[in-house]
Chains A and B, each alone.
Chain A
Amino acid sequence: MVPVSHFLILAAALFCIGMLALLVRRNALIVFMGVELMLNAANLTFLAFARQHGSNVGHVSALFVIAVAAAEAAIGLAIVIAISRNRGTLLIDELRTMKN
Chain B
Amino acid sequence: MSAEAVLFYIFAFFTIASAATVVFARNPINSAVSLVATFFFLAGLYVLLYAHTIAVLQVMVYAGAIMVLFLFVIMLLNLTEMPMEKRKPTLARVGGVVATVVLFGALAVVLNKVSGAPAPLEGSELASYGTLAELGRLIYTEWLLPFEAVSILLLVAMVGAVMVSKAKV
Contact surface of A with B, Cβ cutoff 8 Å: 1-10, 12-21, 23-27, 29-30, 32-34, 36-37, 40, 43-44, 47-48, 50-52, 54, 56-57, 59-60, 62-64, 66-75, 77-82, 84-85, 88-91, 94
The complex places the Cα of A16 from the Cα of B49 at a distance, in Å, of 22
A64 touching B146 by the CB < 8 A rule? yes
- 17 extra interface residue pairs, beta carbon distance < 8 Å, beyond A23-B96, A43-B54, A74-B69: A1-B117, A2-B8, A12-B111, A17-B22, A30-B28, A34-B23, A51-B118, A54-B129, A60-B138, A66-B61, A69-B61, A74-B160, A74-B161, A79-B164, A81-B164, A82-B165, A90-B85
Chain A residues with CB under 8 A of B104: 12-13, 16
Q: List 18 A-B contacts (CB under 8 A).
A: A2-B5, A6-B8, A7-B49, A10-B12, A13-B16, A16-B104, A17-B19, A27-B28, A37-B35, A40-B38, A44-B45, A54-B118, A63-B139, A66-B57, A66-B61, A70-B66, A70-B154, A74-B161
Known: A1-B2, A63-B54. A48 touches B164 (CB 8 A): no
Query: What is the 8 Å Cβ interface bit string for chain B, positions 156-167, against chain A (1 contact, 0 not)?
Result: 111011101101
Which of A10, A14, A62 contacts B54 (CB under 8 A)? A62
Measured CB to CB, the closest approach of chain A to B22, in angstroms, equals: 5
Which of A51, A79, A80 contacts B49 (CB under 8 A)? A51
A54 touching B161 by the CB < 8 A rule? no
A12 touching B85 by the CB < 8 A rule? no
In the complex, B37 has a CB within 8 A of chain A: no
